């Protein structure tokens, strides 16, 4: 890969789908390591999926309140790991469909790479729920790394 001033520019802006799960933590650690190697930065984005069959205003507020505590703990872990390896990290949460939101943010904000953890769905779960990583692979405007 061609290098610009100061080294390779391959993966300088990295977006990681992050919910604090064990697989998301693995994805975060991979993203931080790549950012360290390439002199980049990471955005850990938690996408909160809105309820589909409820009164959106009431249920959405409840869902958001319910995830604030676990997300704060997950972001604390992410910040500690980023500080440990010396990589600039931003954290953010927003509401939306996870795959669509990750692809849109990557495109709108010019990310070079999306890193995701694989959830390990069974074939039936994948058929019924769909795989976020498969959808991101289909719609992402940049490279995608799925961490197993």
The tens digit of pLDDT for each residue in 48-82 reads 887 766 555 556 677 777 778 889 999 999 999 99
Q: Kindly tell me if the per-residue pLDDT of 33 is higher than 80.
A: yes
| CB-count burial class (<10 Å; 0-12, 13-18, 19+) for 19 | buried
pTM of the model: 0.84
Q: In the predicted model, what is the mean pLDDT of the chain?
A: 85
Rg (CA), the chain: 16
Q: Where are the alpha helices (DSSP H) in 1-148?
A: 22-38, 56-85, 98-108, 123-129, 132-139
Contacts of 116 (CB under 8 A, 6+ apart): 16, 17, 27, 102, 132, 133, 136, 144, 145, 146, 147
44 in Cβ contact with 71 (< 8 Å): no
């Amino acid at each position: 890969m061609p290098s610009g001033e100061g080294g390779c520019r391959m993966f300088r802006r990295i977006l990681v789908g992050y919910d604090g799960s064990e697989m998301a933590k693995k994805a975060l650690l991979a993203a931080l390591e790549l950012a360290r190697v390439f002199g980049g930065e990471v955005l850990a984005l938690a996408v909160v999926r809105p309820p589909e069959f409820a009164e959106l205003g009431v249920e959405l507020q409840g869902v958001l309140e319910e995830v604030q505590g676990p997300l704060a703990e997950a972001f604390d872990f992410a910040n500690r790991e980023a500080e440990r390896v010396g990589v600039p990290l931003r954290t953010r949460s927003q509401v939306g469909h996870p795959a669509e939101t990750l692809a849109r943010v990557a495109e709108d904000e010019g990310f070079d790479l999306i890193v995701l953890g694989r959830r390990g769905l069974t074939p039936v779960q994948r058929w019924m729920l769909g795989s976020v990583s498969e959808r991101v692979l289909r719609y992402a405007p940049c490279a995608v790394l799925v961490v197993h």
